[in-house]
């Protein structure tokens, strides 16, 4: 069928649909647009109009108010009769724009007043506004608040510290003690009331805001918060193992029913990956040998896809099984050797419902959708084993968080991968550790928090985290987004070098939805 030479569009403005072309425009009447769950579909109705010849096609573009990157398509026959009612079902995608931040202009923005005194909010619950991008920054912790002489941080970008309703945040002290605060920084469960654990990884239940999970010895526990205490329940004892360990950067699956553990067999031998289902108290598999963490043949990081597949980051790079980045089936068999060279990755569901992994191709062109196969992030469909789209080009050192999957926003936190002196080093020390040419070597997106739409069509710059991230590991922000996409948490030393804790950081929060 030939397409009309003119281009018409239907635009929603204040709940009215307007059909617009180059020569004429008219109001089509009230438009009923109903967004289904996750804004993945819309239904549009509008009055008929004469003047379109048989066999011609009208192109309709739907812009959903308040959404970023919404699109849709559909078709319907139009009877040759006046005022014939017709309904077109349109499927598409869209995500809500953030409350703060500025759209990316692809220009380098040095943090304002970088060498001047720009102190963080003085106390917990106090807020300042990022002077360049306009996002509020609320302080959640202060030095030595929970442990003498200790700073504070959350765990990592791939395990959300937020509970199911984003009212609680789980944090750690520099020496590894856990505590729980609210989103104003008030203590909910003090360090002394947290249960004993053998891992800093204590993932929240995705639906019950009072529940989290943890390991100790060879047991898997449920912790239930009641006021300022935690009641513990043993969900499973792994007989045949001297210990089971919650991997330190893994979240619970989105449905709350799948979790990979690392078990040390009682009879000796290398540790194995155990896929456990806490919903049915079932061991799904326990055959995958993962070795000793960070050994030459062992695991470095374990993450879980929504389906329960494992994303394994081995400690050694390579093109053979047991090296690089690999995906394993739920039965422990190898599914795909994905990366020869590993970096920071995230997993989830995109807006089209595809199970995806986010990462840099590191030169592997078959999984690259970006202009640069090294300094970029590509979204890869793991079922099609093919790249879907480029998430972002021209990035420096990063951590990535997609804990709000499938709501559509990926959080990136940039950090300085160099060593001091460099552009992100203390200038509050004597001698000064900040490079003398720091302004000229400041990179695009340097020391920033970015919110990026999963299909790569929108980028918002939220804030400079103001941590001198080249100083030490815990100076890196490791920013993470809540499951509902409303909040972002990150760590920063705010150029404070004289606290006394060699790994000092405190925790900050921004609301983005």
CATH topology of domain 195-343: Methylamine Dehydrogenase; Chain H (2.130.10)
Give the model's pLDDT for residue 89. Answer: 53
What HEC string does 241-274 produce?
A: EEEEECCCCCCCCCCCCCEEEEEEECCCCCCEEE
Give the model's pLDDT for residue 63. Answer: 45
Give the model's pLDDT for residue 75. Answer: 47
For 447-465, what is the mean pLDDT?
A: 98
Query: Which DSSP category does 441 fall into?
Result: H
Residue 220 has pLDDT above 60, yes or no: yes
What confidence tier does 383 reach under pLDDT thresholds 50, 70, 90?
very high
Residue 84 has pLDDT above 90, yes or no: no
Quick check: 262 and 275 in contact, CB under 8 A? no
Residue 239 has pLDDT above 80, yes or no: yes
Least confident of 66-75, 228-237, 312-321, 404-413: 66-75
Least confident of 23-32, 185-194, 436-445: 23-32
- Residue 122, token pair as written in the block: 């003085």
Give the model's pLDDT for residue 121. Answer: 86
What confidence tier does 117 reach under pLDDT thresholds 50, 70, 90?
low
Distances (CA, A) of 91 to 58, 69, 406, 456, 483: 17, 13, 16, 19, 24
Neighbours of 118 (CB within 10 A): 15
Please give the Cα distance from 283 to 35 (Å, whole number). 39
Give the model's pLDDT for residue 241. Answer: 99
174 Cβ partners below 8 Å, 6+ apart? 147, 150, 151, 152, 153, 474, 501, 503, 504, 505
pLDDT digits (tens, 9 = 90+) for 25-68: 323 333 333 333 333 333 333 344 444 455 555 545 444 444 55
- Report percent pLDDT > 70 for the chain: 81
Give the model's pLDDT for residue 67. Answer: 54
Give the model's pLDDT for residue 123. Answer: 87
Quick check: 377 and 400 in contact, CB under 8 A? yes
Give the model's pLDDT for residue 87. Answer: 55
For 417-436, what is the mean pLDDT?
A: 96
For 215-238, what is the mean pLDDT?
A: 99
What confidence tier does 96 reach under pLDDT thresholds 50, 70, 90?
confident
Residue 325 has pLDDT above 70, yes or no: yes
Give the model's pLDDT for residue 56. Answer: 52
Least confident of 63-67, 94-98, 165-169, 230-234: 63-67
Neighbours of 359 (CB within 10 A): 25
Least confident of 4-18, 52-66, 304-318: 4-18
pTM: 0.85
Give the model's pLDDT for residue 43. Answer: 35
Give the model's pLDDT for residue 7. Answer: 34
For 212-241, what is the mean pLDDT?
A: 99
Give the model's pLDDT for residue 14. Answer: 35
Give the model's pLDDT for residue 53. Answer: 52
Please give the full DSSP string across 371-410, using - where no structure is assigned. SSSSSEEEEEETTTTEEEEEEEES--EEEEE-TTTTSSEE
Residue 129 has pLDDT above 90, yes or no: yes
For 357-384, what is the mean pLDDT?
A: 97
Using DSSP, state whether 347 is helix, strand or coil. Answer: strand
For 384-400, what is the mean pLDDT?
A: 97
Q: Per-domain residue ranges for the chain?
A: 9-96, 195-343
Give the model's pLDDT for residue 95. Answer: 77
- Report percent pLDDT > 90 for the chain: 78
- Residue 132, token pair as written in the block: 């360049």
Give the model's pLDDT for residue 86. Answer: 52
CA-atom Rg of the chain in angstroms: 25
Mean residue pLDDT across the chain: 87
What confidence tier does 153 reach under pLDDT thresholds 50, 70, 90?
very high
Residue 494 has pLDDT above 80, yes or no: yes
Q: Which residue has the tokens 């395990």?
A: 159
Least confident of 114-123, 221-230, 263-272: 114-123
For 405-415, what is the mean pLDDT?
A: 96
């Amino acid at each position: 069928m030939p397409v009309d030479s003119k281009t018409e569009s239907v635009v929603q403005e204040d709940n009215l649909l307007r059909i617009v072309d180059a020569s004429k425009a008219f109001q089509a009447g009230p438009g009923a647009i109903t967004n289904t769950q996750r804004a993945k579909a819309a239904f549009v109705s509008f009055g008929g109009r004469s003047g379109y010849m048989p066999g011609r096609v009208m192109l309709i573009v739907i812009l959903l108010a308040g959404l970023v990157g919404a699109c849709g398509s559909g078709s319907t026959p139009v009877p040759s009769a006046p005022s014939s009612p017709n309904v077109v079902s349109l499927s598409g995608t869209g995500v809500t724009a953030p409350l703060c931040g500025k759209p990316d202009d692809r220009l380098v923005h040095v943090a304002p007043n970088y060498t001047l005194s720009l102190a963080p909010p003085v106390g917990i619950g106090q807020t300042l506004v990022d002077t360049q991008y306009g996002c509020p920054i609320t302080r959640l912790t202060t030095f030595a608040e929970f442990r003498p002489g200790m700073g504070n941080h959350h765990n990592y970008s791939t395990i959300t510290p937020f509970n199911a309703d984003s009212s609680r945040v789980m944090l750690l002290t520099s020496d590894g003690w856990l505590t729980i605060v609210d989103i104003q920084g008030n203590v909910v469960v003090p360090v002394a009331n947290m249960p004993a654990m053998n891992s800093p990884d204590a993932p929240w239940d995705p639906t019950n805001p009072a529940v989290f999970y943890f390991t100790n010895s060879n047991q898997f526990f449920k912790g239930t918060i009641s006021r300022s205490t935690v009641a513990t329940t043993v969900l499973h004892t792994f007989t045949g193992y001297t210990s089971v360990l919650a991997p330190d950067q893994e979240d619970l699956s989105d449905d709350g029913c799948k979790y990979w553990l690392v078990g040390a067999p009682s009879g000796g031998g290398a540790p194995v990956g155990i896929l456990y289902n806490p919903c049915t108290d079932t061991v799904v598999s326990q055959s995958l040998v993962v070795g000793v963490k960070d050994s030459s043949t062992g695991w470095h990081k374990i993450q879980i896809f929504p389906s329960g597949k494992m994303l394994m980051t081995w400690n050694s790079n390579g093109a053979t099984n047991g090296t690089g980045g690999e995906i394993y089936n739920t039965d422990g068999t190898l599914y795909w050797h994905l990366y020869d060279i590993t970096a920071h990755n995230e997993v989830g569901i995109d807006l089209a419902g595809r199970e995806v992994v986010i990462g840099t191709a590191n030169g592997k062109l078959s999984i690259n959708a970006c202009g640069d196969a090294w300094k970029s992030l590509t979204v890869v469909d793991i079922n099609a084993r093919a790249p879907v789209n480029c998430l972002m080009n021209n990035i420096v050192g990063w951590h990535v968080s997609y804990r709000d999957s499938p709501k559509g926003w990926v959080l990136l936190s940039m950090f300085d991968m160099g060593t001091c002196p460099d552009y992100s080093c203390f200038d509050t020390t004597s001698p000064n550790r900040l490079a003398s040419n720091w302004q000229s070597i400041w990179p695009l997106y340097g020391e920033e928090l970015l919110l990026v739409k999963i299909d790569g069509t929108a980028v918002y710059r939220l804030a400079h985290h103001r941590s001198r991230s080249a100083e030490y590991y815990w100076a890196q922000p490791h920013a993470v987004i809540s499951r509902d996409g409303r909040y972002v948490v990150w760590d920063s030393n705010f150029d404070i070098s004289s606290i006394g804790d060699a790994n000092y950081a405190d925790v900050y929060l921004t609301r983005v939805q």
